Amino acid sequence: MESLGLIGSLLSSLLNPTPVETGPADPHWYQPVVDTHWQIQLQGTVNTGYDVDLYVLDLFDTPGNVIRDLQASNRRVICYFSAGSYEEWREDEGRFLPSDKGRNLDGWPGERWLDIRSQNVRNIMRDRIALAAEKGCDGVDPDNVDGYSNRTGFALTGKDQLEYNRFLASQAHSNGLAISLKNDLEQVSELVDEFDFAINESCHQWNECDLLQPFIDAGKPVFHIDYLYANDPQARAAFCATMNQKRFRSLTLPLELDDSYRFSCTP
């Protein structure tokens, strides 16, 4: 009788299996399409009047109500911060150790390259990404993520940079945020699968735009900034024709990114 009872229990368990608990679904985040229209402004009172899909704004300086108001009008907000440089004016600047700071960034007073191998630096960047999520940003734009190809004061390698950039992407996605690859053209082919779009400055000036083609091929946008053609409409028209053929979304802007002028290649 005991054997029959055991057989019955086994049959019951096979016919009525105990439900298996599953974890939460994989997080989803904003993925802009190739033809997304955009604006970037990192200084001054934000001009929210552009008819665009996406704004790139400073993480620290942009009030939460500006982010919410833009989103309420069906615009997305990507929050900018520097992931590869120390900026002496930021509210968390006291967290950086002396050993984290390297050479000055040429042309940018108050900025120094960071040792991206430092666990302390990574902890600060993890908190910045969490702040972006807390403020309601749709994604992040970490700048200066190509230190390995600059004179930083540290012996950084391409492998160090790949590891750090992947760390940033993982942190963004784990917080439900999209992430841009800012410049770092030599590593595009190795990082395109882990980043949601590219933001590039002046690839046309250095004949490097073809290196960004993997993003377009993957159905991900390339947002491009030109600093050359503000005062040359004829050259700007030829430049825009080239950018539009590539399907890049290009803007001619002031170096300060303060909205003092803006010319868009998008019709």
Q: What is the CATH number of the domain that holds 228?
A: 3.20.20.70
80 contacts 100 by C-beta, under 8 angstroms: no
What confidence tier does 24 reach under pLDDT thresholds 50, 70, 90? very low
Q: Is residue 19 part of a domain?
A: no
Enumerate residues 6+ apart whose C-beta is below 8 A from 120.
95, 96, 97, 100
Residue ranges making up the domain that contains 223: 36-264
Q: Is residue 41 part of a domain?
A: yes
- For tokens 């890049």, what's the residue? 248
Euclidean distance between the first and final Cα of the chain, in Å? 83
Cβ density class 92-128: b for 16+ within 10 Å, e for less: eeeebeeebbbebbeeeeebbbbbbebeebbebbbeb
User: Tell me, what's the pLDDT at 267?
Assistant: 75
> For residue 247, what are its two tokens?
């399907």
Q: Is residue 104 part of a domain?
A: yes
| Cβ atoms within 10 Å, residue 209 | 20
Per-residue pLDDT at 69 exceeds 60 = yes
Q: Is residue 24 part of a domain?
A: no
What confidence tier does 16 reach under pLDDT thresholds 50, 70, 90? very low
Q: Is residue 15 part of a domain?
A: no
User: Tell me, what's the pLDDT at 3?
Assistant: 42
Q: Is residue 30 part of a domain?
A: no
Domains held by the chain: number: 1
263 contacts 239 by C-beta, under 8 angstroms: no
Does the global pTM surpass 0.85?
yes
Enumerate residues 6+ apart whose C-beta is below 8 A from 189.
214
Beta bridge partners of 21: none
Q: Is residue 177 part of a domain?
A: yes
Q: Is residue 12 part of a domain?
A: no
Average pLDDT over residues 179-190: 98
User: Tell me, what's the pLDDT at 25?
Assistant: 41
